[in-house]
A and B are shown apart, each in its own frame.
Chain A
Amino acid sequence: MSASLDLSLIVHTRNRREMLHPLLRSTAFIGERIIVDMASDDGSAELCEEAGCRVVRIPAETFVDELRNRYLPLATRGWTLLLDSDEYLAADAEGLIGALIAAAGDRIDAYGIPRFNYIGADRLPAPGWYPDHQIRLFRTGAIAFQKGHHQRPVVLSGDERLALVDPSDGLHIHHQNYRDLKEFIARQLDYALTDDYAGVRDLRLYLAEAYEAMERSLGDPERSDLDAALAIVMAWDRVVRGVIHWEASGRTTDLARAFSLPLVVEQGPAFAALEQRVRDFENSTSWRVTAPLRRLSAWFRSIRQR
């Protein structure tokens, strides 16, 4: 245990006993470890107590991010490290965290730490999944969380006092996100169903984000099949959220408008290639020509006639 690091650890958990082993092992050097246990019944709290952590037992709650604000003041050290129960650190974390705290001086109040995300045995290297900086190391009291799931916390003294750790050769959070895709889908759906949907938001914005989620992955030459699968799920997630939001806001927006294709096509070779593909599809006898394709084809014709 490090006596020299002026650091508290706070972890929120619920029924993640098996996942907690790497976290407890890799944070043993931290003098003050506070586990906020949300009514686990699998022995998570007892495991943490056996490891020497202070365990605060609270009822189960849906919005963990907002809940964090209530328990951040429990930290008594100068700096706080926040981890989730399915995260852990590397063997050299103690020295690297110590170096970051020492380097903060009077300029830095919070660090964004890069995060390796894993599904099963595979790391997710695609943009959006890496470096995936997380604001988790900060002067105690320097940040506040927002309502919802996985919202970016606010650095209270301003983002100019936030520094991002270089992912090329430095501290990381290791995040064993999910065992497999099925678990990933179940978790996304749970987040979507329990998230905060205030105000009114046009479904087309969600659809545009769905296309962007696909494009980010498909446009990356380094992507793996797993990255593509995740992009498909995330696109689906945006669509599902859009529909939930539509209902939560009183079904007030016009869903039919969302069927217009959210495409922006630049004039040039890409435009010509897309037009040719549409024409090929339209002339093909082996494809069923759908109404949106007919509309797109008509749109190309109208462009040519201008």
Chain B
Amino acid sequence: MELTVVIPSFGLDALLRTCLASLATSLQVAGIDDVRVVVADNGSTNPYRVEHLGGGRVELLRFDQRTSFARACNMAARSAPARRYLFLNNDVLLHPQAIADVVGTMDAVRNAGICGARLVFPDDRIQHCGVRMDDGPLGPYHEFAGQPTARVSRAIRDFPAVTGAVLLIDGQLFDELGGFDEIYPFGYEDLDLCLRAGQKGARITCAQAIDSLHFESMSNRDPGRHDLSRQQFWQRWKGRYTRVGSWQPP
């Protein structure tokens, strides 16, 4: 299999359906046919049914008990081994050319192991175009977050990490890393994966030509939702990464 797309999801059926429709269009535009799409139903109160998700090539992996993003993604990826995995959040609506942009960027950057996507909020402000690391209390942050996308450079550049909202990774690299580390209950598992990939010599990059829409945190808006994961992340990584990047959020 050339590509497996993994979408962990809890509830929000209409949003997931729209996400899948945008994915189907984007895959078609990219000319990718050899693909499996696995939705990890992470304990939705009303279990998803393929027929209500547009049918077609969508496969469901149901969890009766809500589990971590990392475990849901790992089990879904394991169920459909592929040359590359694309992890996608259910609140991302892909631009029709987004997959072609991400795959094209991955192919163009030598030794790239992971590639992210440029994401904007509905008002065209940057949600994500790469993650930088601050060695102070700020820690990891989204570069240019909140800036109008028109003002932010579209040059392809390396990053220490990218968001897991749209994350393309080489399948062999993912397997060698053992997937996402399941010690993270919610959040930071994507950054951890990137940092570990970087330790293995893989380059982390991000597609910049195309903006896709990311609503962000639609399934869980609890302000403390990342606290436990953040603690885990600090324990593992504080003082162990190099500060990279010049732009700091205001």
Question: A residues engaging B (CB < 8 A)?
Answer: 90-93, 96, 116, 118, 120-123, 125, 169-172, 174
Question: Interface residues of A: mostly helix, strand, loop or mixed?
Answer: loop
Question: Which of chain A's residues have a CB closer than 8 A to the CB of B232?
Answer: none
Whether the pair B64, A90 counts as a contact (CB closer than 8 A) is: yes
A sample of 11 more A-B contacts (CB under 8 A), given A120-B51, A169-B43, A174-B62, is A91-B62, A92-B65, A118-B49, A121-B52, A123-B49, A169-B64, A170-B64, A170-B65, A171-B65, A172-B64, A174-B47
Smallest beta-carbon distance B238→chain A, Å: 31
Identity of the chain A residue whose Cβ is nearest the Cβ of B62 in the assembled complex: A90
Q: How far is the CA of A93 from the CA of B61 in the complex (A)?
A: 12
Chain B's closest residue to A95 (CB) is: B65
Which of chain B's residues have a CB closer than 8 A to the CB of A122? 49
Question: In the complex, A96 Cα to B75 Cα: how many Å?
Answer: 15
Q: Which of B49, B50, B52, B63 contacts A91 (CB 8 A)?
A: B63
A116–B41 Cα gap in the complex (Å)? 14
Q: How far is the CA of A93 from the CA of B63 in the complex (A)?
A: 8
Q: How far is the CA of A123 from the CA of B49 in the complex (A)?
A: 9
- Residue in A91, A169, A172, A174 whose CB lies within 8 Å of B61: A91
From the candidates B49, B61, B75, name the one contacting A121 in the complex (CB within 8 A): B49
Nearest Cβ in chain B — how far from A40, in angstroms?
26
Which chain B residues (98-146) contact chain A, with CB distance < 8 Å?
none
Least CB distance from A179 to B in Å reads: 11
| Distance between Cα atoms of A90 and B63 in the complex (Å) | 5
User: Judging by beta carbons under 8 Å apart, are A92 and B49 in contact?
Assistant: no
Cβ–Cβ contact A92 & B64, under 8 A: yes
Q: Which residues of B contact A92 (CB under 8 A)?
A: 63-65, 67, 75
Q: CB distance A96 to B65 under 8 Å? A: yes
B46 touches A125 (CB 8 A): yes
Interface residue? B225 (CB, 8 A) = no
Interface: B66 (CB within 8 A): yes
Given contacts A91-B75, A169-B43, contact A96 B49 (CB under 8 A): no
- B64 and A171 within 8 A (CB): yes
In the assembled complex, which residues on chain A have CB atoms less than 8 Å from the CB atom of B43? 169
Chain B residues with CB below 8 A from A169, complex form: 43, 64-66
Among A91, A93, A174, residue most surrounded by chain B Cβ atoms (within 10 Å)? A91
Q: Which residues from chain B contact A125 at a C-beta distance below 8 Å?
A: 46
B46 near A123: Cβ-Cβ < 8 Å:
yes
A-B pairs with the 3 shortest C-beta distances?
Answer: A121-B51, A90-B62, A90-B64
Report B41-81 residues with CB < 8 Å from chain A CB. Answer: 43, 46-47, 49-52, 61-67, 75, 79
**A170 vs B43: C-alpha distance in the bound complex, in angstroms?**
9
- Give the residue among B46, B47, B64, B79 with the most A Cβ atoms within 10 A: B64
Give A169 to B43 CA distance when docked, in angstroms: 7
Identity of the chain B residue whose Cβ is nearest the Cβ of A113 in the assembled complex: B64
Cβ of A116 and Cβ of B47 under 8 Å apart? yes
- Can you name the residue of chain B whose Cβ is closest to the Cβ of A165? B64
> A122 to B50, alpha carbons, bound, how many Å?
10
Q: Which residue of chain A has its CB nearest to the CB of B76?
A: A91
- Write the chain B residue with the least CB distance to A25: B79
State the CA gap A140–B162 with chains docked (Å): 51
B46 cross-chain contacts in A, Cβ below 8 A: 123, 125
Task: Tell me the bound Cα distance from A92 to B40 in angstroms.
Answer: 11
Residue of B nearest to A116 (CB): B47
| Residues in A whose Cβ lies below 8 Å from that of B67 | 92
The answer, among B47, B61, B64, B79, for a CB contact under 8 Å with A123, is: B47
